[in-house]
Amino acid sequence: MNYSDIIKKSVLEGFSYADFSTTKMAVTLGLTFLIAVYIFFVYRFITRGTFYNKNFNITMAIISVVTAGIVIAMQSNFVISLGMVGALSIVRFRTAIKEPMDLLFLFWSIGTGIVCGAGLYELAIVIALVVTFGLLVLQLVPMMASPMLLIIKMDNIDKEEIVLSTVKKNTQKYKIDSKSITNGRENLIMEIRAKEYSSLTNEISKIEGVISVTLMHHEGEVKN
């Protein structure tokens, strides 16, 4: 027996049929579903203050069960595992996940299916508890308020110095993101932090030559 035969035998034995009885498969899928339901309610609780997508939550929970079933099937023999890898490699998911929290829960759901499908139920439960604890603790950590985006339109470029001095006087920090001049008119876009935004906008709007003042919420940080 040469080295290639030894390697081939080891690989085939490693992917030999796993003893999954009907009862064990039912228990595996049942426990996976229970943990998936737990993930479902945790996601609903965490996203209570934002836009909640019920269809995404249901899909995410069922993905755990489907993933567990795939892992069980891949353990049956080497041929099925190769077929699964080939089939899954051609799948393309084109729906973009914009929220990082959604990505976390999706990865948690898939990971639960993989772990439960491998029969490591205790590990799946421990992961669920640790992730829940981490989410709850980090949710309580106070976060600095996001800066606001201030958009100022002026009919005269000579008013920029007055506007900037007013902004500097009424803000804790500010940064000019964009400055454009068209036909003698100037547009300024700034990121600002202030205690009283309404008084700032009112004071700027009273400056002669200011056409409009717009204040928008901005997700990000003011950099030096």
Q: Is the pLDDT of residue 206 over 80?
A: yes
Average pLDDT, the chain: 79
Residue 117 CB coordination number (10 Å): 26
Distance, in Å, from the CA atom of 166 to the CA atom of 157, rounded to the nearest integer, reads: 15
Is the pLDDT reported for residue 192 higher than 60? yes
Tens digits of residue pLDDT in 20-51:
677 888 888 899 999 999 999 999 888 876 67
pLDDT of 54 above 90: no
Whether residue 208 is predicted with pLDDT greater than 70 in this model: the reply is yes
> What is the b/e burial string over 47-56, where b = at least 16 CB atoms within 10 angstroms of the residue's CB?
beeeeeeeeb
Q: What is the pLDDT of residue 36?
A: 93
Q: How many CB atoms lie within 10 A of CB 90?
A: 6
Minimum mean pLDDT range among 132-141, 149-158, 211-220: 211-220
Tell me: the pLDDT tens digits for 69-82?
888 877 766 555 66
Q: What pLDDT is attached to residue 128?
A: 93
Q: What is the pLDDT of residue 34?
A: 94
**Domains of the chain, with CATH numbers?**
10-140 (no CATH), 148-217 (3.30.70.260)
pTM of the entire predicted model: 0.61
Q: Which two tokens stand for residue 34?
A: 């229970």
User: In terms of C-beta distances under 8 Å and separation of at least 24 residues, what long-range contacts does 158-166 make, across chains too?
Assistant: 158/209, 159/186, 159/207, 159/208, 159/209, 159/210, 160/186, 160/188, 162/207, 163/188, 163/204, 163/207, 163/210, 166/200, 166/203, 166/204, 166/207
The pLDDT of residue 223: 46
Other residues' Cβ atoms within 10 Å of the Cβ of residue 13: 9
Least confident of 1-5, 16-20, 124-128, 186-190: 16-20
Q: What pLDDT is stored for residue 39 in this prediction?
A: 92
The confidence score (pLDDT) of residue 38 equals 94
